Structure 1
Amino acid sequence: MRDLAPPCIDVEAHQLSKRFGSNEIFSDVSFRLLRGEAVALVGANGTGKSTLLRCMMGLIPAASGKVVVLGQDASSTSSRELRALRARMGLVSQKHNLVPRLSVLSNVIQGLLGRHPGIRHWSHRSAPAASREAAMEALGKVGLAEFALRRADRLSGGQSQRVAIARAIVGKPEILIADEPCASLDPAAGEDIMKLFFDLARQDGVTVVFTSHHIDHALRYGDRILGLVDHRLKLDARASELNAADLRGLYD
């Protein structure tokens, strides 16, 4: 029997620490994320979940340790290499961060700026045909193709988050990061967004990392769960081995 190939590691954090001044955010955090895995990052407010995601993307430097993303050390790479690395990742944040006065289509096209910097990708009117087609495909996946020319400030909260997801996936990222993607949505819309987000991720075999205060979301949509408590990573386990009581303990 032929040996199976080892799983591909998309993200590997080594003893990662971060502080702002004398305020320790987290320390000695180590973990690996496998290709195609969905990982929930949970913990109480102030435990550093969003900061950890930003360090992982190279948006802010770690105080010590390193993080290797898609085979590159994001802790010690050049600005140009870091921009190219971020272009291979998609981000959906708590705030939708759409440009209100621009069309839905233009907002989605701006998701390609990491791969194609420059003024042409600020608006659908100036974008190349291939970019417009990619944006329309992404809008079709989130069910909003018919809203392409509507101004972003005329959307509902759930629609805005769908546009944010389309913007995150338009460049066909290898890693999708979602920081509290349902924080500003009502429960029904939040459930729709989580299902949509993970259906899209599964279809494309993308590695997913998401933060959430919804215990049921973490258990239902995560393959693995990482838990931050008291500035340390106190939990790294398969979701199938945990229950709601296990996660509630992280918030005590």
Structure 2
Amino acid sequence: MMNSNAAIHFFDVSHSYKGNSQKVLNQVHLEIEKGEFCTILGRSGAGKSTFLRSMTGFVQVEEGSIFINGDELRYYSSSLRKIRKNVAMIFQHYNLVNRLTNLQNVLCGMLQNIPSQRGILGWYTEKEKKQALELLDRVGLADFAHKRADQLSGGQKQRVGIARALAQDPKIILADEPVASLDPVTSGEIMELLKQINKEENITVVISLHQIELAKQYGERMIGFAGGKVVIDTTAGFLTDGDLAEIYDVTKEKENTNHSIEKQII
């Protein structure tokens, strides 16, 4: 029986891409509760991005069922619209429209919630514009509202991406390697901002990361993928070198060197 407090529920989900018999998701079965802050670990190709994108229907899984906030994800337009309205994505490469201002980029986050005709024409109410400006202020970029997105640094672009996600008024935020292109200091600032949003808004946040120290510092729940399977599901305080070895398939020979596992895989 599905937990009534589950924001995300995967029931024996499997998927492989056309032309490749290897399953990128292999009988994934797990629940993520409302308000959790989860970090997803794993090698490149372990299934992390597919796991995230399957929650919005960007990837149509071959087997199993996915439930988002109690609603089963089905691959027809009305179901997808309902799911996507409540799930916002944050991307590694920001996915901003460079020719638009940062305010206009944040307003794009409202497209799921306004009449389609207004969205096509780019018509927003003064209330919506004020809300977008307030969201830019929340991420520290109110002074950059009328600058083009291509005038920003990487960290600033990611802040605009977060403001755009919040403009959607989501119940869940999915972040696919959101700090992979950023320096360590900026990465920490972005993670701190996402953690603050999680706590203040009770928004479920699921983030895939390569930086283990960041995952341990900010993640409450650590989910490790290897070969498309969930191999580790634990809390940050209980994540061991043995867990990391299983997630990253580190050999015993490497484990016995003078370097820590974390240094090997970062």
Please indicate, yes or no, whether the TM-score normalized by the shorter chain is above 0.5: yes
Name the amino acid aligned to 1:157. Answer: G
> Any idea what SS the aligned residue of 1:60 has?
coil
Partner Cα separation in structure 2 for residue 203 and residue 244 of structure 1: 32
Q: Secondary structure at 2:224's aligned position in 1?
A: strand
Is the 2:101–2:149 Cα contact (8 Å) retained in structure 1? yes
Does structure 2 retain, via aligned residues, the 8 Å contact 1:215–1:244? no
Verify: 1:220 aligned to 2:211, yes or no: no
Offset of residue 25 of structure 1 = 0.9
AA aligned to 1:49 is K
> 1:120–1:127: 8 Å Cα contact kept in structure 2?
yes
Unaligned runs of 5+ in 1: 1-5
* Within-5 A mapping of 1:1-252: 8-21=5-18, 22-74=21-73, 76=74, 78-118=76-116, 120-121=118-119, 126-243=123-240, 246-251=243-248, 252=250
Distance 1:119 1:161, change over 3 A: farther
Q: Return 168-177 or 235-244, whichever deviates more.
A: 235-244
Give the aligned length: 245
- Match of 2:180, SS state, is coil
Q: CA RMSD in A?
A: 1.8
- Distance, in Å, in 1 between the alignment partners of 2:128 and 2:168 is 9
Corresponding residue number in structure 1 for 2:263: none
Deviation (angstroms), 1:84: 2.2
Give the deviation of 1:31 after TM superposition.
Answer: 0.5
Q: 1:124-165 CA deviation, whole Å, 9 max, x = no partner?
A: 7x3111211221121111010111111111111111110001
Any conservation in 2 of the 1:215–1:247 contact (CA below 8 Å)? no
Give the TM-score, by structure 2 length.
0.87
Which whole-Å CA distance do the structure 1 matches of 2:102 and 2:121 have between them? Answer: 10
Question: Could you tell me how far 1:40 is from its partner in structure 2?
Answer: 0.8
Tell me the distance in 1 between the aligned counterparts of 2:103 and 2:232: 40
2:245, 2:185 → 1: CA distance? 22
Higher mean C-alpha displacement, 114-123 vs 211-220? 114-123
| CA distance in structure 2 between the aligned counterparts of 1:171 and 1:57, rounded to whole angstroms | 14
Distance in 2 (alpha carbons) for counterparts of 1:48 and 1:148 = 36
Deviation at 1:243, TM superposition (A): 3.8
The corresponding residue for 2:253 is none
Q: Bigger CA drift: 98-107 or 6-15?
A: 6-15
- Per the TM alignment, residue 123 of structure 1 is displaced from its structure 2 partner at its CA by 7.9
Letter in 1 for 2:66: V
Give the Cα–Cα distance (whole angstroms) in 2 for the partners of residues 122 and 133 of structure 1: 20
Q: Secondary structure at the match of 1:23?
A: coil
Change (3 A) 1:121 1:138: farther
TM-score normalised by L of structure 1 = 0.91
Partner of 1:3: none
Q: Which amino acid aligns with 1:118?
A: S
Q: Cα distance 1:243–1:13, how it changes in 2: closer, same or farther (>3 A)?
A: same
Q: Give 1:236 shift.
A: 1.2
My pick for the range that moved more, 236-245 or 79-88, is 236-245
How far the C-alpha of 1:87 sits from its partner, in A, is: 1.2
Q: Is the 8 A contact 1:91 1:177 kept in 2?
A: yes
Q: Percent identical across equivalent pairs?
A: 36
